[in-house]
Amino acid sequence: MKVKTILVSQPEPKMENSPYQNLVDRTKVRIDFRSFIHVEGASAKEVREQKIDLSKFTAIVLTSRNAVDHFFRVSEEMRFKIPDSLKYFCQSEAVAYYLQKYVVYRKRKIYVGKRTFPELCPLIKKHKSEIFLVPSSDKLGDSTPTELDKLGVDWTSGTFFRTVISDLSDLADVKYDVLVFFSPSGIESLFQNFPGFTQEQTRIAVFGNTTMKAATDKGLRVDIQAPTPESPSMTMAIENYIKDKG
């Protein structure tokens, strides 16, 4: 069955000439965007109830832009003055670049990983004497605690924000040829919103191994997967599928 419509379970990219727009131009498919999940911040009171004292930490591990936003939000709500000596360990260049929204680079000690959390770990290992805070969602991935424990560092995670299932009831009667997912939470949202969902001819596209596992655990047939050596990005994976299968 020819691919004509695609639903991406994320907000529409704000950049001009996004990879998705380029995909539309090349393949003439229709792509819609809809967040299957959204983020809600934890209050300063909720963070305090986790027995987190921001003054005790000498370093912070930032794995996403949400972590950046909500760390600074909670700090402000607590009226905590972030010391210039705090060290920032950013999982990727994208996170480090986003950090500039809140701090002046030349006045801070910032360490940047390549892309994945294990790639950040050698930098953390060089600073084992620090006391690390990991502000995260309520769904901190298993790999982060495992990797930090392996390093033997003093670290604490705190729930600074939550991943919440979005209401998708208005999509009940809308059909797409391809549904695109980037997290296990997106898969969870699909089945919470549509408990009777049956895949039939709908193609499922997933990004990452954890999303792949969440999809297959729900009995879904995964037709498109990224990243792979042939398709390092989701848009490339979709385009290659369309070229191969239509």
Domains of the chain from N-terminus onward: 5-36+166-245 (3.40.50.10090), 40-163 (3.40.50.10090)
Strand (E) positions, the chain? 5-8, 30-33, 37-41, 59-62, 87-90, 109-112, 131-136, 154-159, 161-165, 178-181, 203-207, 222-226
pTM of the model: 0.74
CA distance 205 to 173: 20
pLDDT (tens digit, 9 = 90+) per residue, 148-166? Answer: 999 999 999 999 999 899 9
pLDDT (tens digit, 9 = 90+) per residue, 70-98? Answer: 999 999 999 999 999 999 999 999 999 99
Asked if 29 and 242 count as a contact pair (C-beta separation under 8 A), the reply is: yes
Report the length, in residues, of the chain. Answer: 246
Residues of the chain short of pLDDT 70, as ranges, are: 141-142, 246
pLDDT of residue 14: 83
CA distance 135 to 172: 35
Give the pair of three-digit tokens for residue 69. Answer: 């936003």
